[in-house]
Amino acid sequence: MLNLHQELEEKFAKFLQVESCIVFGMGFATNSTNIPSLADKDCLILTDRHSHASAKSGIYLSGAKFDYFEHNDCNDLEKKICQAILNGNPNNNGKPWKKIIIIVEGVYSMEGTIVDLPRLIELKRKYKCYLYVDEAHSIGAVGPNGRGIVDYFGCNPSDVDLLMGTMTKSFAAAGGYLAGRKQLINHIRQYSLSNYAGSISAPIAQQIINTLSILSYKNPNEMIDTEGQQRIAQLLSNTHYMRDRLKHLGFIIAGHYDSPVIPIMIYIPAKIGSIVRMAVKNGLALVCAGYPATSLTTNRIRLCMTAQHSRETLDQAIQILSMIGDVHHIKYQRYDVL
């Protein structure tokens, strides 16, 4: 571990306003190799049905009993928590679970939905569960200071046991992190399977530190926004602009209005290949997602906004998307239901 890695961990902990942080060389592995260090066969993990594959992989590897609750449905989650407490561990003669861990995402990567964090914190406190939040698509992207979903709702970071995130999106780098109480992070340092994987290279670590410095900088004149605040505000403006324009054209747009992940619903899987080819032919690099990343009938185009998109660029993309929508008949809201 280089001094640069230690500096990165300290800066991340300060940025997230938590006691400690540990960084890893790969975002996917941050979930898949660390969740097993947090749970075993005497624990129960309750996770959102649309949680990322990396989290599901870590859950499977942990050997813990697990169950899914309906997407972003805290009422369904509460029912499952109550049933779990009432029935106990069926593999241990109904004795109480050692731990019940709730695993969710801040912004869901395929759905564009934003988790109801205040309600989750309420449930966590009420039933004495543990809360693990994957911020891969929310860190550096939502909240007035770019600190993610905790910042977005104005919650206390200490109310989330583990904050996980990746550096491949907002930080234009590579790797992942886990942040929370010092005692818990020290436990992960000792038992993490990620110790067998490569660490973040020095140039990439420096890139992340530079980004954190931009996001963290406080202007002595509070009336003037910092560069970081300007970028976050621009990202939100671009997100709203894109969502409004696409919806006006007749596309079915999924997700939360403030989410920079914007799914355009295609539904029909046979249209994916043709849509991608037409987009590339017209100069637009387009990501389409289908089964198994989505269910068989909820195929979609997935757009991800950045602060660097100019209105001219967005308008060009919208024009191409509009043409694609007309040719492939995916402007579903334009057609009257008979």
Same domain, 47 and 79: yes
Same domain, 211 and 321: no
Flag whether 281 is in a domain. Answer: yes
Flag whether 221 is in a domain. Answer: no
For residue range 117-169, what is the model confidence (pLDDT) as tens digits?
999 999 999 999 999 999 999 999 999 999 999 999 999 999 999 999 999 99
pLDDT band at 334 (very low <50, low <70, confident <90, very high): low
In this structure, what CATH number is given to the domain that contains residue 166? 3.40.640.10
Flag whether 304 is in a domain. Answer: yes
In this structure, what CATH number is given to the domain that contains residue 301? 3.90.1150.10
Q: Lowest mean pLDDT: which of 149-163, 222-236, 260-274, 318-332?
A: 222-236
Same domain, 254 and 148: no
- Cα–Cα distance for residue pair 292/318, rounded to 1 Å: 27
Q: Can you read off the two tokens belonging to residue 290? A: 């289908």
Same domain, 137 and 85: yes
Give all strands (DSSP E) within the chain, no chain letters: 20-24, 43-48, 65-69, 99-105, 130-134, 162-166, 176-180, 261-267, 288-289, 299-304
Of the candidates 233, 216, 248, 228, the one whose C-alpha atom is nearest the C-alpha of residue 305 is: 233
Same domain, 120 and 154: yes
In this predicted structure, the answer to whether residue 335 has a pLDDT above a threshold of 60 is no
Mean pLDDT of 306-314: 95
**CA dihedral (58, 64, 69, 74) positive or negative:** negative
Same domain, 52 and 182: yes
Q: Please state whether the predicted TM-score (pTM) of the whole model is above 0.85.
A: yes
Task: Indicate the residue among 216, 244, 276 that finishes a domain.
Answer: 216
Same domain, 161 and 250: no
Same domain, 19 and 129: yes
For residue range 167-198, what is the model confidence (pLDDT) as tens digits?
999 998 999 999 999 999 999 999 998 876 67
Flag whether 104 is in a domain. Answer: yes
At residue 218, what is the residue type?
Answer: K
Task: Indicate the residue among 191, 216, 241 that finishes a domain.
Answer: 216
Same domain, 69 and 164: yes
- Cα–Cα distance for residue pair 175/272, rounded to 1 Å: 30
Of the candidates 281, 278, 282, 283, the one whose C-alpha atom is nearest the C-alpha of residue 266 is: 278
Strands 65-69 and 43-48, by their bridges, are parallel
- Cα–Cα distance for residue pair 120/282, rounded to 1 Å: 44
Same domain, 123 and 264: no
Burial class (CB in 10 A: 0-12, 13-18, 19+), 328: middle
Number of domains in the chain: 2
- Cα–Cα distance for residue pair 265/330, rounded to 1 Å: 8
Give the range of the structural domain holding residue 30, as residue numbers without chain letter. Answer: 3-216
- Cα–Cα distance for residue pair 113/92, rounded to 1 Å: 37
pLDDT of residue 23: 95
Q: Are 187 and 36 in contact (CB under 8 A)?
A: no
Same domain, 284 and 203: no
Task: Indicate the residue among 216, 249, 266 that finishes a domain.
Answer: 216
- Cα–Cα distance for residue pair 259/239, rounded to 1 Å: 7
Same domain, 105 and 234: no
- Cα–Cα distance for residue pair 77/57, rounded to 1 Å: 20
Q: Are 58 and 51 in contact (CB under 8 A)?
A: no
Flag whether 92 is in a domain. Answer: yes
Flag whether 119 is in a domain. Answer: yes
pLDDT of residue 99: 96
- Cα–Cα distance for residue pair 8/43, rounded to 1 Å: 32
Flag whether 222 is in a domain. Answer: no
